[in-house]
Structure 1
Amino acid sequence: MSSASLIFKVKSNWVPPFQLEEMWMSSCQMGPNFPTWLETRTSLRYLDISKSGIVDIAPKWFWKWASHIDRRLIDLSDNQISGNLSGVLLNNTYIDLSSNCFMGELPRLSPQVSLLNMANNLFSGPISPFLFQKLNGKSNLEILDMSTNNLSGELSHCWTYWQSLTRLNLGNNNLSGKIPDSLGSLFELEALHLHNNRLSGDIPPSLRNCKSLGLLDLGGNKLSGNLLSWMGERMTLVALSLRSNKLIGNIPPQICWLSSLIILDVANNSLSGTIPKCFNNFSLMATIGTKDDSFSVFEYYYDYYYYRYTRAPNYENLMLVIEGKESEYKSILKFVRSIDLSSNDLWGSIPTEISSLSGLEFLNLSCNNLMGTIPEKMGRIKALESLDLSGEIPQSMKNLSFLSHLNLSYNNFLGRIPSTTQLQSFDAFSYISNAELCGAPLTKNCTEDEDFQGIDVIDENEEGSEIPWFYIGMGLGFIVGFWGVCSALFYKKAWRHAYFQFLYRVKDWVYVAIAIRSTGSTLI
């Protein structure tokens, strides 16, 4: 009955006259009360009542009922179910309690659990008791998501007990301390989210041991130290976000080895030096909509049975600042192509090699110490939707027909804004605080010198030319016309006599007209 938009309304004391092995009722409205009739379903192995409009406390019997060894999947996600799970034992293979109102300390796990999603709840307290718990056997946990809760404390050095993990998300909590070296023992790890906590210290070099790592999100912490060159050795990295930390030093050229990288975000740090010229090695940023095996990091399935009924994967998420707004990207993450190096101490010029990334959609290099001009070939990145730069505005930027966000404010731009429907469609706030900039949509008009500056740069591949052919043609026309008349009078004697006789008659007519007018005035 999943996704059928049906209302399943029964009496609170209803006892079904049948047993079930599988129950798939996602998005089927059965709330607001918790379905108490589940207690008599002793044969149920798969239970999916997500998005079912339940606003109630989970009854005490439910967790004992759910912990039965035959219960393979429990999915209560996207409801408003509450209850304290402190001390509760979770014993199912796949457990999804995300986006509810559960509270208390974290529950206990059995070795049987393969997936545990408790994101977007009200869990609190230190995380270490959960990580240090003794399991009656080897852990089979592959996917752990406890993001967006109120968990606190330090990440303990016990990750060697969880070596089966492939995806770990502890973002949006109050975790503190250093990232432990033992995280490097998660050899099968594909995605790691520790964003928006209070973690400090260096990025542990032991993460180089995670040879399958495809997504690394450590943004929004207090991490210090340098960008480590080993990151370039992780050829599987597709998305790297380290924004809003305290990282220093240069951007290592080894990062250009990441040919599969489609998202690079190191904004709002203290990075210095120049932008590496090898960014054109990000080959997947030169394509749009290309499918690649490395994109499998962005989506995953629980198991065959879950896919059989839902027909939809689960998606990794990443917070990106696009067009000045922070937004969450999930299902479309694999289609994003983004580079954000803004708010650092980078200097030098913008390398022309960036212009070869024709599939790049979002580029932000603003709030640095960059000098020189914007590369003239930047107009070739025709997929650009958001652009934040500093420098001089090249004429080729009028080719960026997909731009929906432009920020050139608070720089030292000069000359005329190139005339194009695209660039004139943005309001004046996109260009403010550029004293030498003129032309629409600004109110400052351009002088002749500024007009010349605005057309001085010409792209060798641009159709047409910015040379003022009208004035050149007018000058050539005058020269040809003047010498054409003079040559005809010189070689044709009869034409020359007629021409001068005409001039004499005109002179006499003017003389007589003036004389008559002056005589008439005197008589009056």
Structure 2
Amino acid sequence: MLSIIFKVGNTEQFNRRVQCLPKERIALLKLKAELIDDYGRLSTWGNNIDDDDCCGWKGVICDNTTNHVVALDLQGDGTAGSLRGNLSMLRHLDLSSNDDLKVKDNLDWLTGLHSLEYLDLSYVNLEMASSTWWRTISNLKTLKALYLRSCGLSETTALSLSGTIINDSSTTTSSSLAILDLSSNNLNSTPTLIRFLNLSISISYIDFSSNNFDGRILDSLGHLLSLSHLDLSNNQLQGDFPQSFKNLVNLRLLNFMWNELNGQFFQMMTLLENSTKLEYIDFTENALVGPFPNMSRFSFLKELKLQDNKLNGPLLGGNLNLPHLEVLDVSRNRFSGRVPDLTSCSSSLRELSLNDNMFNGTLTESIGYLSKLEDLSLGSNQLEGIFSEAHLFNLSRLQNLDLSFNSNLTVKISSSWNPPFQLYSLWSEDCNLGPDFPEWLQRQKQLTRLHISNTKIQDIVPDWFWDNFHWFTTSYAPRCSHS
């Protein structure tokens, strides 16, 4: 992963005793003349007659050995206009979040930046740029990081670059590019995606999220052996993983949220059996099917999100021997059987979402050992038996608890019990809380949401309830009387 060392906040320290080159000072002043600076970002640029040292200007960083301007940070703050001038030794250029920046019909002004390593034009409108923008960027052979997030790039623009010829000689492979972010545009074709991937075989970071890519996942992605971050969320991809994904041994983040993948989850994870460095996996809202595989080989996994799929069968604790797991969300699937023992995650698990499945039977008291747990969601299952303080005794960080719509589950907590946590929300409708009003709620001083309707409470509502919770933003009152 590329480490970016240029930070505007450190400009003065970086430029101490550095004098900029006269030709580069002139280039910066020409640039200032071309820009609309509504917020005075460039007010330090050459305002004083004696201010010859452009290395002290805001947003400008110089090399303390060569005196060349090597970084220019004009991120945000209302900069607009056209960019001209050649700073040939510039390595870092950030023009992101300048919505009104006027880009000429092409990006030819970049061609003189032979040393450029970092380019961020995110949120700059490139819709009017001609088809040569891609050729210009592909010829920046020293480029290591390219961010073009939400630039209005469309398929019409991209496809006009080289017709239908993917291996265009003008897009020769660069060995430098490591980070490629083209997220939140309107790209949608496989040839375009291949053309982007042909930039470099050493890419480690890809974010193509929130585009319109459809069809099957490209086999060529699996040949990027340095890939550690792959985000293709919010597209229309279908099918399952190509066989080449078995090569992705350096993968740490895998995000296919909000797609239409419909393969066998078990087989897809088998293809990734060599990706043992994975830390984040997200398949939220797809159509994956089949049983839950043994995930224990991914011992560094921190987040596993599988909600809104069609996974079924049991969820076995032995398949979740993940000592670093912080988030497990398998809600809105078709899992059945007992809720698994997750004590192997007891030192790390913060969020556990098992709601909207078909889990049944009694709930293991081992859940009370998940001492880091903040959110516990077990609603809309078929749980039964007793839920007591034994399930909660060590959950000192618990904030949100959902037991709702388990009609055979009885919540039986001693009136004298002093919970170690302070809840923000409690969902328990359609469970058995009664017949007495749950006195332990009197000690919950931070509740903002309480759902206790249809819980067989036959008691009067105590005065402390109205005193404690009169400021609720959302409340479902129990079906009982107010004394």
TM-score of the two chains, using structure 1 as the length reference? 0.63
**Counterpart of 1:404?**
399
Q: 1:260 to 1:426 in 2, by over 3 A?
A: closer
Give the drift of 1:375.
Answer: 1.0
Q: State the match for 1:124 in structure 2.
A: 154
| Residues 112/129 of structure 1: CA separation in 2 closer, same or farther (3 Å cut) | farther
Indicate yes or no: 2:178 matched with 1:183. no
Who is 1:430 aligned against?
427
Q: 2:350 matched to which residue of 1? A: 361
1:416 equivalent in structure 2: 411
Aligned with 1:215 (options 220, 242, 253): 253
Q: Deviations over 1:267-321 (max 9, x none)?
A: 1100111113324521223xxxxxxxxxxxxxxxxxxxxxxxxxxxxxxxxxxxx
C-alpha distance in structure 1 between counterparts of 2:161 and 2:367, whole Å: 51
Query: Is the CA contact 2:328–2:351 (under 8 Å) kept in the aligned structure 1?
Result: yes
- 1:148 shift after superposition: 2.0
Cα separation, 2, equivalents of 1:220 and 1:372: 32
Give the letter aligned to residue 73 of structure 1. Answer: H
CA distance in 1: counterparts of 2:231 and 2:222, whole angstroms: 14
Aligned to 1:94: 118
Do the aligned partners of residues 115 and 161 (structure 1) sit closer, same or farther apart at CA in structure 2, a change above 3 Å counting?
Answer: closer
Residues 447, 122 of structure 1: CA spacing in aligned structure 2 closer, same or farther, 3 A cutoff?
A: same
Q: Is the 8 A contact 2:225 2:248 kept in 1?
A: yes
What amino acid does structure 1 have at the position aligned with 2:362?
Answer: T
Point out where structure 2 has 5 or more consecutive residues left out of the alignment: 1-6, 12-38, 61-66, 442-451, 460-483
What letter matches 1:231 in structure 2? L
2:206 counterpart residue number: 168
How big is each residue's C-alpha offset from its partner over 1:327-382, in whole Å with a ceiling of 9 and x where there is no partner? xxxxxxxxxx1011111111111122456533200000111111112211110101
Task: Flag the 1:410–1:428 CA change in 2: closer, same or farther, 3 A.
Answer: farther
> Do the aligned partners of 1:398 and 1:418 also contact (CA within 8 Å) in 2?
no
One-letter amino acid of the counterpart of residue 268, structure 1:
D
Q: Percent identity?
A: 24
- Give the 3 Å change call, closer, same or farther, for CA 46–429 of structure 1 in structure 2: closer
Contact 2:400 2:426 in 1 (8 A): no
Which structure 1 residue ranges, 5 or more long, are not aligned? 27-41, 286-336, 449-524
> SS at 2:69's partner residue?
coil
Measure how far apart 1:112 and its partner are.
Answer: 2.5
Matched residue, 1:71: 90
Larger gyration radius, structure 1 or structure 2: 1
- State TM-score, norm by structure 2: 0.68
Rounded Cα–Cα distance in structure 2 between residues aligned with 1:446 and 1:424:
23
Kept in 2, the 8 Å contact 1:84–1:103? The answer is no
Name the SS of the counterpart of 2:213 in structure 1. Answer: strand
SS in 2 for 1:83: coil
Compute the displacement of 1:430 (Å).
Answer: 0.6
Question: How far 1:11 moved relative to its partner?
Answer: 9.8
Deviation at 1:426, TM superposition (A): 5.0
Q: What one-letter code is carried by the residue in structure 1 that aligns with 2:206? A: L
* 1:235 counterpart residue number: 276
- 1: CA distance, partners of 2:251 / 2:10: 38
| Range 437-446 or range 231-240, more displaced | 437-446
Partner of 1:46: 71
Flag the 1:24–1:418 CA change in 2: closer, same or farther, 3 A: farther
Q: CA RMSD in A?
A: 3.5
SS in 1 for 2:273: helix
Task: Measure, in 2, the Cα distance between the counterparts of 1:202 and 1:141.
Answer: 27
* 1:339 and 2:328 are equivalent in the alignment: yes
Pair 1:25-2:49 in alignment: no
Name the aligned partner's letter for residue 232 of structure 1. E
Q: CA 1:413–1:425 in 2, change beyond 3 Å: closer, same or farther? A: farther
Q: Distance in 2 between matches of 1:189 and 1:374?
A: 41
1:278 aligns to 2:318 (yes or no): yes
Q: Contact conserved, 1:104 with 1:122, CA < 8 A, in 2?
A: no
CA contact (8 A) 1:21 1:45 kept: no
Q: Give the number of equivalent residue pairs.
A: 376
CA deviation digits over 1:175-196, x for unaligned, max 9?
A: 2222111111101101000001
